[in-house]
Chain A
């Protein structure tokens, strides 16, 4: 499982509340990603990180912020959750072995429901 742990695995929250999802890796990989998956849309990139304190936006970053204060943790924050952010969130890390073509390894996801 490439040493990726997402927490929590499930969360139900109310509209307008802040939510933070955590992705923890144990293998010191440089690149980490947050994706969301919704029916009919496949996986879409929210934010990614290419090192400690180095992050950038993906294709659906509005309403989300991220932080990476240490290599092993990549946090995704919904400052004020909305129902449109109900989704399954996947964290991924870029592995090694193929240089720039190294595959991504995904966590098992966090199912977030905003009521």
Chain B
């Protein structure tokens, strides 16, 4: 299974941009990069995903390195509500059903200071 590596934790200040790094040196050519986050006492929620090109949505931006061995999730203006555990995940197909297994690692805890 392709694996990702993230720092255990990061801190940021409210209303400042935050860049959350992820390394995935063993990524295959067809693996998509997915980001989820988990707020305290809640289930994970989808943030963004991408393959090769940078991606933007209402929550964040995803910058993918040209060699795809790393990516960065960008929160343009961190708020207190962005304090969560962030998971960088590579897609992995399951054995049946054409579905996919998202292998969640331990993630990275983001603390946002007021």
Q: How far is the CA of A108 from the CA of B41 in the complex (A)?
A: 8
Main secondary structure of the interface of B (DSSP, over half): loop
Contact of A43 among B44, B45, B100 (CB under 8 A): B44
Contact check, A94 vs B106: say whether CB atoms are below 8 A apart: no
How many residues of B are in contact with the other chain, CB < 8 A? Answer: 26
Q: Are A105 and B96 also in contact (CB < 8 A) when A43-B104, A45-B101 are?
A: no
Contact check, B107 vs A42: say whether CB atoms are below 8 A apart: yes
Contact check, A48 vs B46: say whether CB atoms are below 8 A apart: no
Which B residues contact A (CB, under 8 angstroms)? 32, 34, 36, 41-46, 49, 87, 91, 94-107
Which A residues contact B (CB, under 8 angstroms)? 31, 35, 40-45, 48, 50-51, 54, 56, 58, 90, 92, 94-95, 98, 100-101, 103-109
